[in-house]
Amino acid sequence: MEPAAPPPPSPPSAAAPGSDELVCAQGRNLKAVLCQRCGSRVLLPGAATFARRELLLPAMRKKAAAAAGGGGDVVREHWLVRDMFSFENVGFTRDVGNVKFLVCADCEAGPIGWHCLDDKDSFYVALERVAHE
């Protein structure tokens, strides 16, 4: 009997938030943050801090479907970025009330995060809507 082949490498994923593989002792991201859809790099390692906050994000879908409106998801675990220039690749939607949503600047997948215009120094990227490598 031949030995079993090693399992294929697992794709980048948002493993259990707060786990040792994503958050360092200082609470910062250990791995790069990527778009789940196209793999574009959103944040470099160490660019964000792990934060828990309940936010409602619209469901991820194509632009045409997003224009039709609809439901959303409550997300609780995020990468908190304090300076918009820390992002490698992110786009912002038009204002929706006093909020702008974050999307991948390459493929426009999203929203991957949230920014309130009342707080100029807080950008939240939902862990469950991005990948890590």
The Cα–Cα gap between 130 and 117 comes to 22
Beta strands in 44-110 (DSSP E): 49-58, 72-81, 91-92, 99-103
Structure tokens at 3: 């030995």
- Structural domains for the chain: 21-61+72-132 (2.170.150.10)
Q: 13 pLDDT exceeds 60? A: no
Residue pair 132/12 in contact by the 8 Å Cβ criterion: yes
Question: Strand (E) positions, the chain?
Answer: 33-35, 41-43, 49-58, 72-81, 91-92, 99-103, 113-116, 123-126, 130-132
Q: pLDDT tier at 21 (50, 70, 90 boundaries)?
A: confident
Confidence at residue 20, expressed as pLDDT on a 0 to 100 scale: 65
> CA of 57: how far to CAs of 24, 30, 99, 113, in Å?
26, 24, 11, 7
* pLDDT score of 19: 59
